[in-house]
Amino acid sequence: MADVYAGDDDLSTPGSPARATATYDFSVSADTEPDVIARIANQFSFANEAPLYFELRTHPDGTARARIRIAGATAELADVLARKLSRLTCVNQVTVTPASVTGPEASPESLVSMVATTTT
């Protein structure tokens, strides 16, 4: 039985072509608002994607910058997420890039990491 909400109904069909997946990094610039973390995180939740890495930092100029990494996503899903994020009223800019396989975010110790800090 397929989970239609997860979008895996095509996995039960024998001979269906495999979809290419990759790891993507999202960089989001947004206005600092009390619910900015929830608004950004909800877009990944709605897409049934748990980030490998999520970091949000606020800055004195009233902006917040989020870095998010997801793995096992198609290019189409990364594009949809970027468009949904850019439609949030608090978001100023969204950039999506294929992730490099190196860096601290890729280490197993930081697969689940959520940090919220204020820079002075």
Q: What domains does the chain contain, in order, with CATH numbers? A: 19-118 (3.30.70.260)
Task: Say if residues 9 and 2 touch (Cβ distance below 8 Å).
Answer: yes
Q: What is the pTM of this model?
A: 0.71
Q: What are the 10-residue block averages of pLDDT along the chain, 120 residues in total?
A: 54 63 96 96 95 96 96 95 97 94 46 41
In the prediction, which pLDDT does 117 show? Answer: 41
Give the pLDDT confidence score for residue 100 in this predicted structure: 78
String of DSSP letters for the chain: ---TTTT-GGGGSTTPPPPP-EEEEEEEEEE--TTHHHHHHHHHHHTT---SEEEEEE-TTSEEEEEEEEEEE-HHHHHHHHHHHHTSTTEEEEEEEEPPS-SGGGSGGGSS-EEEEE--
Q: What is the pLDDT of residue 9?
A: 55
Q: Are strands 114-118 and 53-58 parallel, antiparallel or unpaired?
A: parallel
